[in-house]
Structure 1
Amino acid sequence: MGLVILLVVGGLIGWVASIIMRTDGQQGIFLNVVVGIVGALLAGFLLTPLVGGAPITSGVISLPSILVSLLGAVVLLGIVNLFRRGSVR
């Protein structure tokens, strides 16, 4: 059950991140889920120890963990855009 929740929350986080970065029209549902989960993983490993709390991948879904995961997904989309287009947006 935890994997299903991670996929749903990761998909929502990836979708919101793609709207923030204005790449929503270029991505499908699958890529939104991938960006959300990979962004959550990166944020869980890098940002969560600095901010405190539990990462979203541990099964704890709270507002700070969702915000940190969203930040990780936005940063991941910025990096992908930087390599694809030469600019962050």
Structure 2
Amino acid sequence: MTLLVILTLGMALGWLAAILLRHDSFRQSFADIVTGALGSLGGYLVAGGRPDSHAIGFELLMLGALGAGLLLAAVAFLRRQTAR
């Protein structure tokens, strides 16, 4: 259950990032959603969360959101660098 919540949180953040960055193509929006999910999962695991746990704490959710935000920012930065 925890894994589903963390991935959903990351996907929602990726979707919001696609809207804020005004990505028109499906490919870029899908990449943002996947990046958000992976970043959220990574942040959650680095924070000490376990995917098989049933306890979801506020701190672990926020660290998952932070992981998603950091990975989305890094990918957006790398996209701008390769576009130049």
TM-score (ref. length: structure 1) = 0.57
Matched AA of 1:77: L
Match of 1:36 in 2: 36
Q: Is the 8 A contact 1:43 1:68 kept in 2?
A: yes
Could you say if the C-alpha distance between residues 33 and 62 of structure 1 is closer, same or farther in structure 2, counting changes exceeding 3 Å? farther
Unaligned 5+ residue runs, structure 2? none
Alpha-carbon distance in structure 2 between the residues aligned to 1:81 and 1:33:
13
Deviations 1:4-59 (A, max 9, x none): 5444333224345x27xx42x2153x44542232012221333x14xxxx35x445
Match of 1:74 in 2: 69
Number of paired residues? 74
Match of 1:85 in 2: 80
Name the SS for the 1:73 alignment partner: helix
Alpha-carbon distance in structure 1 between the residues aligned to 2:4 and 2:45:
21
RMSD of aligned alpha carbons? 2.8
Q: Which has the higher contact order (CA 8 A, sep 6+)?
A: 2
Could you say if the C-alpha distance between residues 15 and 63 of structure 1 is closer, same or farther in structure 2, counting changes exceeding 3 Å? farther
Match of 1:10 in 2: 10
Could you say if the C-alpha distance between residues 61 and 45 of structure 1 is closer, same or farther in structure 2, counting changes exceeding 3 Å? closer
TM-score (ref. length: structure 2) = 0.59
Larger Rg over CA atoms = 2
